[in-house]
Amino acid sequence: MTDISGLKIGVLGGTGPQGRGLALRWAKAGLTVVIGSRAADRAEAAAAELRELAGVTAISGLDNAGCAAAADVVLVAVPWDGHRELLESLRAELTGKIVIDCVNPLGFDKQGPFALPVEEGSAAQQASLVLPESRVTAAFHHVSAVLLADLSVSEMDIDVLVLGDDREATDVVRALADAIPGTRGIYGGRLRNAHQVEAFTANLIAINKRYKAHAGIRVTDV
């Protein structure tokens, strides 16, 4: 089992629902978390709120560059619009680090959600191209922000697919998934197969609407 207990986890876009929910759960699990946001004061306000919710002290808030510089492993949980520009601006801070992209490039119209075409193939592949000296993985696309934020949900009941071409990096990210109760990290393939995992979030949103659920997936026979 990969030891992640000493890692500092940065969450870029940590004031958005997905980043905030994962930060909360990682902090509850005893990890050190740094929330990143465009404005340091908004990041620190979110961190203060999460410290109280989680009942822990090891959550701080910084601007995105400060967060990326401070952390050992960095989750990218920013809107797709602006994804590339943010990562380009943080290339130096992210050098040599494990980066986890959880961004889902989706559009919405009258018929509901749909996958946006991505020139590089996927958000994760774009991150990998923009950050050639980082260890880019993709994971946490399908975790419900609503359930993450609701601490009365003690077990998440979801598998997190972890994609990447660097075995050691995907093992660390799988351990970060395992650290959240009821969540299991499963290797899900190489980065070139990230598009369909990101796009599948559109299907989960359609399922949520039809069944009034917060759907996730479990991989069977594993």
Query: Which residues sit at the interface with a second copy, rule CB under 8 A?
Result: 111-115, 144, 157-158, 161, 163, 186-190, 192-193, 195-197, 199-200, 202-203, 206-207, 210-211, 213-222
- Alpha-carbon distance of 156 to 206, in angstroms, equals 20
Rounded to whole angstroms, the maximal C-alpha distance in the chain is: 46
Residue 83 vs residues 14, 120, 146, 183: alpha-carbon distances, Å: 14, 13, 23, 26
Tokens representing residue 31 in the block: 């990890």
* In the complex, minimum distance from the CB of residue 206 to a second copy, in angstroms, rounded to a whole number: 4
Tokens representing residue 189 in the block: 């393939």
* In the complex, minimum distance from the CB of residue 221 to a second copy, in angstroms, rounded to a whole number: 4
Dihedrals φ, ψ of 34, to 5°?
A: -120, 120
Gyration radius (Cα) of the chain, Å: 16
* In the complex, minimum distance from the CB of residue 54 to a second copy, in angstroms, rounded to a whole number: 23
Q: Which lies closer to a second copy via its Cβ, residue 81 or residue 222?
A: 222
- Alpha-carbon distance of 176 to 203, in angstroms, equals 25
User: Distance of alpha carbon 128 from its chain centroid, rounded?
Assistant: 15
Q: Which lies closer to a second copy via its Cβ, residue 57 or residue 220?
A: 220
Q: Which lies closer to a second copy via its Cβ, residue 35 or residue 197?
A: 197
* In the complex, minimum distance from the CB of residue 123 to a second copy, in angstroms, rounded to a whole number: 13
* In the complex, minimum distance from the CB of residue 95 to a second copy, in angstroms, rounded to a whole number: 25
